[in-house]
Chains A and B, each alone.
Chain A
Amino acid sequence: MIIANILLLIQYTLIFASVLILVALGGCFSEHSGVINLGLEGIMVMGAMGGALAMKILPASMPGIFIVLITLIVSLCIGVLYSSLLGVASIQFKADQTIIGTALNMLGTAASTVIVKAINNAESLALNGTVSQSSAVQYNIPKSNFIMNINFKVSSANGDTSFARFELNWFMIITIIILVLAYIVLYKTKFGLRLMACGEHPQAAASVGINVLKMRWAGVLISGALGGLGGICYIMAGVSEWRFENGVVGFGFLALAVMIFGQWKPQRIALAALLFGFLRALGNLYSSFGFLKALNLPSAVYNMLPYVICLVVLALTSKNSKAPKAEGIPYDASTR
């Protein structure tokens, strides 16, 4: 069974890494434009809620590819809409980005719980008159639409052949595409270079005719889109149903750690996400591996490790940090 376990571990690692790459790239775009997006967690929750509701409403008879596409687009749009709250406050009104980010995290979980519960309750009352306080969305469509199965023939020692299954998730493919796109956009296009200029020295960028506010809006909205995608990706990977009052249990913050560990560079973010995703997967699956079980480390240790690593990296690299120089500072044209 060890091969099946290893496959499962790879599968979990890849799916967690996909979530982390998507969301961390979102954070990367926002920070490169000069806005710290601490609200990634909230954006993920809202995006996840949008996608989950789409899965609930869409008819099951629809072809799988459309279901996948529509769900993704809904999550993406909700993410963009929600991140515009950050844009309005911190770009237009120059509000403190840390306060707004914190508020968005709390608001995301609270709002999605209220909405999902209201829908469940109304349905339950209409169906049989009982009150429902469930915060999980019942999908109309099976989640299997997001998954392609690949079967491996495994021969065990006693000659029996069995099949080990590897679930290839659509999100893994989408993530790779987005990763490549993000790299090209940031480093090879005029837009990306201008965006990064606004995060490094907005006054200088403005002096050569770049509209700093517009660029920052672009950064924040892209982070909303990717955060929303990451959110739906995360709950689709979850066990069977997802209760929204849990939010996304810290994945937004983990993505922030990935972004820092990746030093705000897409290619390094991908590697960091694979490492942190692997640790998270180990936290879930360590008991299926004999030698890890013998170590007898609780899953909390594996869950904690990414944050510890991030903190150590922060301490070691702070002297030549690659963080955008002007992040977190509202742009004020009069300081030019």
Chain B
Amino acid sequence: MENNFFKKSWIQTLISSLLCIILGLVLGLVVLLIINPSGAFDAIKSVIGNFLTWKRGSYKLYYLADTLVRMVPLLMCSLAVLFSYKVGLFNIGTSGQYCAGICACLFGAIFLHLPWYLCLLLAIIAGALVAAIVGVLKAYLNVNEVISGIMLNWIMLYLTNLVLDQPDVIKNTRTLETFDLSEKAPQALLPKLNLFGNNFTSIAIPLSIILAVLILVILNYTKFGYELKATGYNKNAAKYCGMMENTNIILSLVISGALAGVGAAFYYLSGIENWNCSTATVPAMGFNGIAATFLGGLHPIGTIFSSFFIEQITLGGSYVNMRMYSSQISDLISSLIIYLCGFVMFIKVTINSIISKVTSNRENKNIKIEGDKK
């Protein structure tokens, strides 16, 4: 009976994800212990606890809402990675598509003074277009999507800095930070929810959850999703069955890029953070999205939990005792978790081999017992 339980694919996924998390946290704890043994346990507690570190209940709720706001772009990026991965494409260019989304929505908001829904639309189009380049290169010229994605990441980063670095958009000519939306473009702020008194919570939070469910439905219950997955399993077989494999490749990347663009708009149109035109590295959001995707077991609903968890520990890093540690400890833990996610296949194979060993032992025993009876 319990063997059947462990044989279920989602149980195995859950076990391997939890193993990755636990191992990642333990390794993080070891690093903390090496740096300074006296505060290591408190530090790991604050990393995991994040908003729970606050003493007053109202603060806890306020910072829970804050975590949710910051989780939204991560969830969208991991859905983007997931969607293309189902078609067998590794969209490492999510960061670039996210960047394109930032560029489009902030340009629309501050420079063109567009309302929020048009800014959102611009971000979607920008993300989709960048991903479409990857898709076309892959489908018609057979360019590896990982390499073209990486190149586009950097192109989009520099392009964003280029486009947004204008006197009408930049607040501070020294740090090159963009204007606060509440000051220059209040019309572009997403409709607010004011969840737990947090001014940055907007309709982005429920919308992102709805989108996750929508992705689940598309992938599992529609003809389109079935075709996409079939193309992912075997491109040639899909073609043989009359599916348009090139169109499917491009379409899945376009949707993936659009999701990344939505994520950027959901975050930057909440007004919680401004873009900085002197940014020298590609936003980590896309890479963290890869982490959340694999930690979530490549399942849209799993992604909701995994992206919450990753954001939780990322923000938790700022609560460690700065006299002993630095906030980057949480980046360390989340990158360790991604590294460990690479071993998921191995963990599953191990679980299956243990199961088959246990069952064969039991069968042998049963045969022996029956033999004794005779």
Interface residues, chain A, with chain B CB atoms under 8 Å away: 36, 38, 85, 89-90, 93-96, 98-100, 102-107, 109-111, 113-114, 117-118, 121, 125, 131, 133, 135, 245-247, 249-250, 253-254, 256-257, 260, 298, 300-301, 303-304, 307-308, 310-311, 314-315, 318-319, 323
With A106-B334, A110-B332 known to touch, is A314 a contact of B148 (CB < 8 Å)? yes
Q: How far is the CB of B44 from chain A (nearest CB, A)?
A: 13
B92 within 8 A of A: yes
Q: Report whether B150 and A106 are in contact in the complex, using a CB–CB cutoff of 8 Å.
A: no
Do the beta carbons of B287 and A298 come within 8 Å of each other? no
Taking the nearest CB of chain A, how far is it from the CB of B101, in angstroms? 18
- List chain B residues, Cβ under 8 A from A298: 161-162, 165
Are B346 and A103 within 8 A (Cβ)?
no
Given A118-B325, A256-B150, A310-B151, A107:B336 Cβ within 8 A: yes
16 additional A-B residue pairs with CB within 8 Å, beyond A95-B342, A125-B323: A38-B92, A89-B339, A95-B343, A103-B338, A103-B342, A106-B334, A107-B335, A110-B331, A113-B328, A131-B323, A253-B150, A300-B162, A301-B162, A307-B152, A315-B141, A315-B143
Cβ contacts B192-219/A at 8 Å (1 or 0 each): 0000000000000000000000000000
Asked whether A110 lies within 8 Å of B342 as measured between CB atoms, the reply is: no
For the complex, is B112 an interface residue (Cβ under 8 Å from A)? no
Query: Is B4 interfacial (CB 8 A cutoff)?
Result: no
A residues within 8 A CB of B237?
A: none
Q: CA of A254 to CA of B150 in the docked complex: distance in angstroms? A: 9
B118 within 8 A of A: no
CB distance from A123 to the nearest CB of B (A): 13
Q: How far does the Cβ of A299 sit from chain B's closest Cβ, in whole Å?
A: 9
Minimum C-beta distance from B119 to chain A (A):
23
Summarize B's interface: helix, strand, loop or mixed. helix
CB distance from A300 to the nearest CB of B (A): 4
Q: Are B345 and A107 in contact (CB under 8 A)?
A: no
With a cutoff of 8 Å between Cβ atoms, the chain A residues found around residue B147 in the complex are: 256, 260, 314
Contacts of B323 in A (CB 8 A): 121, 125, 131
Q: B30 within 8 Å of A by Cβ?
A: no
A256 and B137 CA atoms in complex are apart in Å by 18
Q: Which residues of B contact A114 (CB under 8 A)?
A: 31, 35, 325-326, 328-329, 332
For residue B25, give the distance in angstroms from its CB to the closest CB of chain A.
15
Bound-state CA distance A94–B343 (Å) is: 8
* Chain A nearest CB, measured from B31 CB (Å): 7
Chain B positions within 8 Å of A135 at CB level: 326
Question: Could you pull out 6 A-B pairs where Cβ atoms are within 8 angstroms?
Answer: A95-B346, A102-B338, A107-B332, A307-B154, A311-B155, A323-B144
Question: Are A300's CB and B31's CB within 8 A?
Answer: no
* Contacting pair B331 A131 (CB below 8 A): no
Contacts known (A114-B326, A117-B328, A314-B148); A250 close to B155, Cβ less than 8 A? no
B151 close to A311 (CB less than 8 A)? yes
B281 A257 Cβ-Cβ under 8 A: no
Known contacts: A314-B148, A315-B137. The answer to whether A246 contacts B339 by CB under 8 A is no
Q: Are B287 and A105 in contact (CB under 8 A)?
A: yes
Q: Which of A104, A260, A314, A323 contacts B137 (CB 8 A)?
A: A314
- When the two chains form their complex, are residues B339 and A303 in contact, meaning their CB atoms are under 8 A apart? no
- In the complex, A113 Cα to B317 Cα: how many Å? 13
> Which 10 residue pairs across A and B have the least CB separation, nearest first?
A95-B342, A110-B331, A106-B335, A103-B339, A107-B335, A103-B338, A304-B158, A117-B326, A300-B158, A110-B332
Chain B residues positioned under 8 Å from A310 (CB to CB): 151
B179 at the interface (CB under 8 A from A): no
Q: Is the CB of A319 within 8 A of B339?
A: no
Q: Which residues of A contact B152 (CB under 8 A)?
A: 307, 311
| Chain B residues positioned under 8 Å from A98 (CB to CB) | 90, 92, 146
Residues of A within 8 A of B335 (CB): 103, 106-107, 110-111
B288 nearest CB neighbor, chain A only? A106
Q: How far is the CA of A307 from the CA of B146 in the complex (A)?
A: 14
Q: Which of B144, B158, B323 has the most CB of A within 10 A?
A: B158
Identify the interface centre among B152, B153, B281, B282: most chain A CB within 10 Å of its CB.
B281
B281, A94: Cβ atoms closer than 8 Å: no
Chain A residues with CB below 8 A from B334, complex form: 106
Expressed in whole angstroms, the minimum distance between the Cβ of A224 and any Cβ of chain B is 15
CB contacts (< 8 Å) of B241 on chain A: these are: none
Closest A residue, CB atoms, query B322: A131
Complex interface: chain B residues within 8 A of A307 (CB): 151-152, 154-155
A113 pairs with B90, CB closer than 8 A: no
Known contacts A102-B290, A107-B336, A131-B323; A250 and B146 CB within 8 A of each other: no
Distance in angstroms from A192 CB to nearest chain B CB is 24
Q: How far is the CA of A111 from the CA of B151 in the complex (A)?
A: 25
Given contacts A110-B335, A114-B329, A314-B148, contact A93 B284 (CB under 8 A): no
**Closest chain A CB from B229 CB (angstroms):** 18
The residues of A that contact B51 with a CB separation of less than 8 Å are: none
Find out whether the CB atom of A107 lies under 8 angstroms from the CB atom of B339: yes
Nearest-CB residue, chain A, relative to B336: A107
Question: What's the least CB distance linking A140 to chain B, in Å?
Answer: 21
Tell me the residues in window 252-276 of chain B with beta carbons closer than 8 Å to chain A beta carbons: none
